[in-house]
Amino acid sequence: MKPAAMRMLLAVLLGLALLAGLAGCGKKTRPVPPDTVMPAPIADLSYHLDEKGVALSWSYPRQTVQGDRLPYRIEKFELFRAVIPSKDYCPDCPIPFGPPIEITAASSDQGRVSYQETLLRPNHRYVYRVRSKAGWFVSSNDSNTVSVVWDTPLLAPMNLRIEEGDKALTLRWQPPTGLLDGTPVSDPIRYQVSRSTDGGETFTEMPGDPIEGLVHADKGLRNGKTYFYKVRAIRLHAGTMAAGMASPSLSAVPRDLTPPAPPQKVRAVATSEGVKIIWETVAEPDLAGFRIYRRSAQNPTPERIGEVGGAGLSFLDAKPPKGRGLWYYSVSAFDQARPANESTYSMEASYEVSE
């Protein structure tokens, strides 16, 4: 027989022995399995509040109390809940947990188990603990305790807008007008920004404490990539933070706003085919090409006469101006951004028409 099966058999036999003993004395208590098979208590029960209610989550148990791998699979979880009016809550008093809510282990997702509770009562405190179970006999001890206060949520922040920058996006919004039931709010309000990079399917809260102001700058982003955002209002009330409703999602794309350096050593050379403009390349990783400009001595504004790709370092003006006079050529560089960023004009190269 395999060691895991042997340990499970011993646990069952021990449970039967305990049941026999209990039947003799008439006292009913929950039997405690040995540490070799007893699941370690869940230690990371956590919660997230939003306008829908509270979402609880915890890790799927993998080890026994002694740190060994569990010799069986967890079948279900028992979620214990206490609902206490905020005005009656006593931190040092026993917690009046109700009957457990059973959650099947099949609800686990990639090592995490989740449970969503809605229709919460305003101005009430909700206290939670959870146990894991493998049948009637094998049960863990209680998890850590989490406590949340539910109140009527704030409305969503208004007029969310995003300013696109270079590797950065700046979010701005206006405060909510009050609570969902129309009640005005005098309590301090903070804001939680959430971001999605998968097309707006999954949002993750930005790290750090909730924001006091109405602006958030998200930096270090990748230019050309689409980011989605939501902003949630959080009410500071009676020493607790009550999450409000989230704004509709809004997307934006950070873009390159830095133009390349202008080309250097621009020259205009007369050839049998026309005027050839020559310049040196620009050391830019996202260089897309060059634009060539020409102006007369009487006109201060250059006119674009051509464009070449980034590999090109010359341009032929096949139809140079006729008639006596002095003409000036300049070159700019532009990058791959959309829209492209264009450099300033280079130093001008002159060309004199003598006939």
Q: Are residues 248 and 301 in the same domain?
A: no
Per residue of the chain (355 residues), what is the pLDDT tens digit?
444 444 454 444 444 443 444 344 444 555 555 666 789 999 999 988 777 889 999 999 989 998 888 888 888 999 999 999 988 988 889 999 999 999 988 644 458 899 999 888 888 899 999 999 987 778 899 999 999 888 888 899 999 999 999 999 999 999 999 988 888 988 899 999 999 999 888 899 999 999 999 999 999 999 989 999 999 999 887 677 778 889 999 999 999 899 999 999 999 999 999 999 999 999 998 899 999 999 999 999 999 999 999 989 999 999 998 878 899 999 999 999 888 999 999 999 999 887 6
CA dihedral 139, 140, 146, 148 (to 10 degrees): 0
**Nearest 5°: phi and psi at 97?**
-65, 145
pLDDT of residue 144: 96
Domain boundary residue, one of 150, 184, 202: 150
- The residue out of 223, 252, 281 marking a domain boundary is 252
* pLDDT score at 7: 47
Residue type, 70: L
If asked whether residues 226 and 286 sit together in one domain, one would say: no
Residue of 349, 181, 198 lying closest to 269 (CA atoms)? 349
Q: In this structure, are 207 and 271 located in the same domain?
A: no
Residue 277 lies in a domain: yes
Structure tokens at 209: 């404490």
> Would you give the DSSP letter of residue 86?
G
Q: How many domains does the chain have?
A: 3
201 with 231, same domain: the answer is yes
* Omega of the bond leading into 94 within 30 degrees of 0 (cis): no
- Amino acid identity of 155? L
126 shares a domain with 172 = no
Q: What is d(CA 111, CA 62) in angstroms, rounded to the nearest whole number?
A: 9
The Cα–Cα gap between 104 and 47 comes to 19
In a domain, 237, yes or no: yes
Q: How far is 164 from 162, CA to CA, in rounded Å?
A: 6
Within this chain, do residues 66 and 131 fall inside the same structural domain, yes or no? yes
Predicted confidence at residue 50, as pLDDT, reads 76
pLDDT of residue 71: 84
Q: Are residues 138 and 166 in the same domain?
A: no
Among 135, 140, 146, 29, CA closest to 81: 146
Which residue range(s) make up the domain with 83? Answer: 30-150
CATH number at residue 134: 2.60.40.10
**Is residue 10 domain-resident?**
no
Together in a domain, 216 and 139: no
Q: pTM, whole model, 2 decimals?
A: 0.59
- Condensed to tens digits (0 to 9), the pLDDT of residues 145-195 reads 999 888 888 899 999 999 999 999 999 999 999 988 888 988 899 999 999
* Residue 14 covered by a domain: no
* 201 within a domain of the structure (yes/no): yes
Final residue in a domain of this structure, among 150, 167, 187: 150
Is the domain of 167 the same as that of 139?
A: no
Distance of CA 143 to the CA centre of its chain: 28
Report the C-alpha gap between 207 and 195 in whole angstroms. 10
In this structure, the answer to whether residues 92 and 167 fall within a common structural domain is: no
* Domain match, 122 and 175 both: no
98 and 204 fall within a common domain: no
